[in-house]
Amino acid sequence: MTAAYAKSFQGVPLSILDTTNIVAGGNARETLLNSADLAQKAENWGYYRIWFTEHHNIPAIASSATSVVMGYIAAATKRIRVGSGGIMLPNHAPLVIAEQFGTLESMYPGRIDLGLGRAPGSDPATSAALRRGRGTGEDFPQLLQELRGYFQDNASASVRAYPGTGLSIPIWLLGSSDFSARLAAELGLPFSFASHFASDFTIPAVQLYRELFRPSNVLSKPYVMVGMNVTVAETNERAHYLASTQKQMFLGVFSGKMTPLMPPVEDMRQIASEEEIFMLEHNSMYRSLTIGDRDKLKTSMQKLLQDTSADEIIITTQIYDHQDRLRNYEIIAELLD
C-alpha cells in the first residue's frame, strides 16, 4: 500500500530508478552526493520509492556496492522507500544478502525493498570474480528459496541471518523476459518489468504474470511495477537536446564501451555516423524512450497504464547536468495528484 505522504498519477504511485551514472569529468563521490540530493527532493515531491542498480567493472557507474549506497540514501532521507533495482542474486551468497538487508531494515524499519534479478550485470570475467566458482543464473530459484529462508524465524535452522531472521522485507522479482514473470507469479511476489529498455516484451510478460499468479502470504493479488525511461523539459526541443546524452550512452552500449555520460549536443550527426544513428533509431531500447514536454509525458504515461494496467511506474533518466535531471523529475512530479 502506498504511504500516505506519497502522491500518485491517476491513482498510480511513481518511483525512481537511479542508475548512478558518472558524468564525463565527474567521479563517484559527486555522483552519490547528487543521488542523495535527488532522493531528498523526490521525497518532498511525492515519489514513493527510489531504487539503485547493481553493475560491476563499469567505471561509469557508482552503485556496484548497492546495499552500501542504499544505506547512505536511507540515512539522508526520512520517508521514501529505498531499494535495489536490483541485487543480482547469482553474484552473491544468499546469506550475505540476507544479513545486509536485515541490517538495513533494522536501521531503517519499514523503508527497505529487496529487488532481485538473475542477470550477472557484468562481463563473464567479472562474474567469475564475484561468484568465485559459483554457477550460472539458472540456479536463481534455488538461491531465492535459500535467501527467503534466512528471513524466516526458524529456530531449528543450523544457519541463521543476524540481523535478518524474522524481519519482513519486501522481496521483488525483476525481469526483462518471462522467466521472472513466471517465478514471481508462482511464488506470489510483486513483479517489476524493465520496460524502460525492453518495451517490446512488456505486455506479454505482465499478462503472463497476472494469468499465472498464485496468492501468497505476501500478496493476495498481483502487483506490477513497470519501468519508464523519461527525458522531459519545458519544450520538446529542450527535451530532445537533453536526451542526446542518453542516445550517446546507447551507442556506447551497442559498441561495448560504457563511457561516462557525455554532454548533450544539438545534432547527433556531429558525433555519430548515419549508420550508427540508423542502428540507434531502430533499436528497442530507443523505442522505450519518452522524450518531450509535459503533454508528451502525460500522453505516454497514460498509454503505458492503458497497455499494462500497472500498479506503479518506476522512472529512470540519464541526463548530463544534475540541475537538469532534478528539473526532469520535478516536472514529472507536477503531474502527481
Question: Residue 284 has what pLDDT?
Answer: 79
Query: In terms of Cα–Cα distance, which of 214, 213, 179, 215 is closest to 194?
Result: 179
CB of 88 within 8 A of CB of 134? no
Distance, CA of 91 to CA of 276 (rounded, Å): 33
| Residue in this structure with the C-alpha cell 540476507, named with its chain if needed | 98
In the chain, what are the domains? 8-226+309-333 (3.20.20.30)
pLDDT band at 155 (very low <50, low <70, confident <90, very high): confident
Contact indicator for 280, 176 with CB cutoff of 8 Å: no
pLDDT of 135 reads 56
Per-residue pLDDT reduced to its tens digit, 66-93: 999 999 999 999 999 999 999 999 999 9
User: Which pLDDT value is given to residue 210?
Assistant: 98
**pLDDT of 5 strictly over 80:** no
Pairwise CA distance, residues 232 & 298, whole Å: 10
Q: Does 24 have pLDDT greater than 60?
A: yes
Which cell numbers hold the place of 337? 495528484
Task: Tell me 59's DSSP state.
Answer: T
Mean pLDDT (the chain, rounded): 93
pLDDT value of residue 2: 66
The reported pLDDT for the residue numbered 317 is 97
Per-residue pLDDT tens over the stretch 217-253? 999 999 999 999 999 999 999 999 999 999 999 998 8
The answer to whether 31 and 21 have CB atoms below 8 angstroms apart is: yes
Q: What angle do CA 85, 103, 92 make, to 5 degrees?
A: 50
Nearest to 286 by CA among 224, 332, 238, 240: 240
**Confidence tier at 142 by pLDDT (50, 70, 90):** very high
pLDDT at 120 > cutoff 80: no
Question: Per the structure block, which three cell numbers stand in for 163?
Answer: 540481523
CA distances, 316 to each of 14, 32, 101, 182 (Å): 11, 16, 23, 25
Higher-pLDDT residue of 259 and 334 is 334
The Cα 183–Cα 141 span in angstroms is 8
Structure confidence at residue 121 (pLDDT): 57
- pLDDT tens-digit map of 191-221: 999 988 878 889 999 999 999 999 999 999 9
The closest alpha carbon to 151, from 86, 182, 106, belongs to 106
| DSSP codes, 5-31 | T--EETTEEEEEEE--BPBTT--HHHH
Instruction: State how far the Cα of 41 lies from the Cα of 115, in Å rounded to an integer.
Output: 23
**Please, is 318 exposed, middle or buried when counting C-beta atoms within 10 Å of its C-beta (0-12, 13-18, 19+)?**
buried
59-98: string of b/e by CB count within 10 Å (b at 16+)?
Answer: ebbbbbebbebbbbbbebbeebbbbbbbbbbbbbebbebb
Q: Grid coordinates in use for 251? A: 551507442
**DSSP state letter for 334:** T
